[in-house]
Amino acid sequence: MNSNVMGKIKFLHKWLSLLVGIQLLLWIGTGLYFNLMDSQKARGTQYLAKSAPVSVDDTDKPAQIEPATLLNSFKPAVSLSQVTLLDKPYYLLTYDRALYPYFKNHYTLIDAITGKQVMIDQTMAKGLAVNSYKGPGIITSASRVSPPFDERLKEKNTLWRVNFDDEINTSVYIDAGSGRLVGHSNDDKRIVDIAFMLHFMDYTNEGSFNNVQIIVFAIFTLFFAFTGFIWTIELGLNGQYSLTQLLPKRLIKKQNNTIQVIDIDGQQLRHVSIPAHENLLDGLIHQDIALPSSCGGGGSCGRCRVKLKPEAKITACDNQQFTQDELNLGYRLACQHTSDEVDSLSLLDITQAEKHQLELISSEFISPFIKELRFKTVSSKPITFKAGAFMRFFIPAASSHSLPVALPESLSSHWNEIESHQFTHDSCSRNYSLANSDHALPDAENELHFTIKLQQAPKFAISQVINPGVGSHYICNLQPGDRIEAAGPFEEFSAQPISKRSMVLIGAGSGMAPLKSLIEEQLVKLKSTRPIHLFFGARSEADLIYQERFTTLAIEHKHFFYYPVLSRPTGLFNGSNPTSISITNHDASAHSRVNSGPTQGYVQDRLAAQLDEISKQAEGLANVEFYLCGPKPMMTSTIEQLKARGVKESAIAFDSFV
């Protein structure tokens, strides 16, 4: 099927589920109730007495008035019928007969002996009610009520309601015009009525399932079911259903397919063995090749890209995630194809994303809440990666403490407000960006650096103790020599192809890692001479991480510019006017390059002040690449600011974090 159509069908199904999902649950739930309910109780007839045929003794029977005589003394009628109420004979004169007794009828009740019109009064209504009742209760009240009736939604005639005090609160309804027994109702039936109300969406008590809201919902649900049905067929045609997925693993005879894995450069990596019918995404993970995925195999995130043979089948998800050119080259989503289909595959976005054992070399506080962690591989095999890559750490289930171990004395004041408590957590995985570049520093070769913020519990928690970030606390409390498993590197936020264009990097808070990695890659590894501008915002002096490192780099490299900004400086500006130090002109920029002293404010403002100068230097903003990493508000406002200046979206790379 056309992928575009399939995409629309899935889109429809997803949003219709939001619209009709709850009502569908109500329909199915009440459906189950109707299936299980006691139909005897549902009628409300538990205490309904069967009317025994009245045998009137002929000899005692007084003569009834001739119908023809009676008709002459009343309005013209369509019928005259004998009725017996409480053992007495009556005539019921009907002037207008509706198709059903519960529709509005017009009639008069007449004593068949005297010929006098009879009104059904309270006493008579009570008598008729008792006559139809075999329960243990006695009458508590009787009232004449007009339609509509909650318990007799279809009834359009005026009724007497007679209540009994039995354990199920029986009510008996008598037609106030004809004495007809309309029916019984009780607590059991009232529950059934609620279920019907929900099933029929009769929220306005119209007594009908032909109401507007159910018609609208029925049509939406029709589309919902059909889109789901088509989706199911599509899944089936793509071989997404298999017995092995459903049955417990041990019941299935193990059968594996061997697949050749080729890396991005065409180098043969190795052969992997993946169980038959298993999808490639899950299969590769067990072989320590972790492809990125956020939807967990649903085919919707489009991240688990691999290259198969061009003739590999194309699923609807492939069609949505790749261009026609990519499909012709064999690009496919690993989650959409099983090991049965292929005998070789090429990895795309990753060079060597696989599981590694890492050993911690050092763990140092570089600000009150941020630590720099340095790892090396246990195997001593170097990991090559592009700047901006991240690793996925597998955090085991463990017990941890809200306060970090080995907290330096000088920082303890920052942790005063944090309540001390012990907590345990389950295993989980966390992604952390690399903060250095491979082969960056002569004394730190083959090292993997991370700058990790110890995430605090939200402040709003008053009554209960909420645990701080389990991943950051676990990893920051590791001791040198400790080992941890991680997969990667995953490369998603990386520099554009090497060029001479200016780079502007904007970051704040703990969004430092990928930016630092990019800078070190450009300056140290690639020895690039392109202009690089780093705008970095922090709260106070203590939070301004790597200030010394960048100041040194700025002095060493004439084309590297460092603009630190503090939003709440504490000591530096004491006794002087901060605004006078704010740097807004070209001269000051040159000064900052040498001095690299922080200014007060926000990075966005500092960037705005500097952008003209950068543009001039690069001969237009079109020649500038932007890299953003930091808290969402900072990113959003910066992206808006850049777009307002005419920067193309494709020239802005960003990486947000919570």
Partner 1 sequence: MNLLKISRKYHRYLMLFLGVQFVIWTVSGAYMVIFDIDYIHGDTLVHNHQTKIAPDDVHYSLTQLIQTYPKAEQLELGMLIDKPVYRFKQGDEQHMLDAGTGAMLSPLPKAYAQAIAQHEYTGTGNIALIELITDNPPFELSGRHLPAWRVNFNDFGSPSLYISALTGKVVTKRHEFWRTFDLMFSLHVMDYEEEDPSNWLLFWFVCFALLACLFGLILTYYRIFKDDAVKPTAQGSSGQNEGVSS
Subset of 464-523 contacting partner 1 (CB under 8 A): 466-472, 490, 492-493, 507, 509-514
End-to-end Cα separation, the chain, in angstroms: 39
- Report the nearest approach of partner 1 to the CB of residue 512 (Å): 7
Assess 462 for contact with partner 1 (CB under 8 A): no
Judged by CB, which is closer to partner 1: 147, or 597? 147
Among 49, 295, 361, 572, contact with partner 1 (rule: CB under 8 A): 295
Give every CB contact of residue 628 below 8 A, 6+ residues apart in sequence.
Answer: 505, 506, 507, 635, 638, 639, 652, 653, 654, 655
CB nearer to partner 1: give 219 or 441: 219
Angle between helices 187-199 and 3-36 (to 10 degrees): 170
Nearest approach in angstroms of CB 238 to partner 1 is 12
Q: Which range touches partner 1 (CB under 8 A), out of 223-231, 321-329, 596-604, 614-622?
A: 223-231
C-beta of 209 vs 612, nearer to partner 1? 209
Q: Is the peptide bond before 248 cis (omega within 30 degrees of 0)?
A: no
28 is an interface residue for partner 1 by CB under 8 A: yes
Q: Closest approach of Cβ 269 to partner 1, in Å?
A: 23
Both tokens of 570, joined, read: 């504490």
Q: Give min distance, CB of 212 to partner 1, in A.
A: 10
Q: Which two tokens stand for residue 242?
A: 């298999």
**Smaller CB separation from partner 1, 49 or 466:** 466
Among 630, 634, 638, 652, contact with partner 1 (rule: CB under 8 A)? 630
Return the number of other C-beta atoms located less than 10 Å from residue 27's C-beta: 19
Tell which positions 63-92 bind partner 1, by CB under 8 A: 63-64, 66-69, 71-72, 76-82
Minimum gap (Å) between residue 545 Cβ and partner 1: 10
Structure-block tokens of residue 7: 């995409």
Q: How far is the CB of 455 from partner 1 (least distance, A)?
A: 4
Closest to partner 1 by CB, 308 vs 470, is 470
Touching partner 1, residues 378-417 (CB under 8 A): 388-390, 393
Could you tell me how many residues of this chain bind partner 1 (CB under 8 A)?
Answer: 112
Please state the separation of Cα 252 from the chain's center in Å: 34
- The whole-angstrom separation of Cα 214 and Cα 203 is 10
Q: Cβ of residue 513: shortest distance to partner 1, in angstroms?
A: 5
Task: Please state, in angstroms and rounded to a whole number, the distance separating the CA atoms of residues 454 and 45.
Answer: 68
* SS3 (DSSP) at 322: coil
Q: Is there a contact between 641 and 604 (Cβ–Cβ < 8 Å)?
A: yes
Q: Are 245 and 277 in contact (CB under 8 A)?
A: yes
Using N-to-C axis directions, what is the helix angle for 212-237 and 3-36, rounded to 10°? 120
At its nearest, how many Å lie between partner 1 and the CB of residue 216?
10
The answer to whether 449 and 436 are in contact (CB under 8 A) is yes
Is 413 in contact with 429 (CB distance < 8 Å)? Answer: no
Out of 1, 5, 8, 21, point to the residue binding partner 1 (CB under 8 A). Answer: 21
Nearest distance in Å: CB 249, partner 1:
12
21 is written with which tokens? 């999902």
| Distance between CA atoms of residues 172 and 160, nearest Å | 8
Edge-to-edge strand list for the sheet holding 181-185? 139-145, 159-164, 171-175, 181-185
Q: Which of residues 85-124 bind partner 1 (CB under 8 A)?
A: 96-99
Q: Binders of partner 1 among 412-441, rule CB under 8 A?
A: 423, 425, 428, 430-433, 435
225 is a site residue for partner 1 (CB under 8 A):
yes
User: In the range 151-180, which residues lie near partner 1 by CB under 8 A?
Assistant: none
Shortest Cβ distance from residue 236 to partner 1 (Å)?
Answer: 7
Residues 228-247 that bind partner 1 (CB under 8 A): 228-229, 232, 235-236, 240-241, 245-246
Q: Which residue has the tokens 């570049």?
A: 437
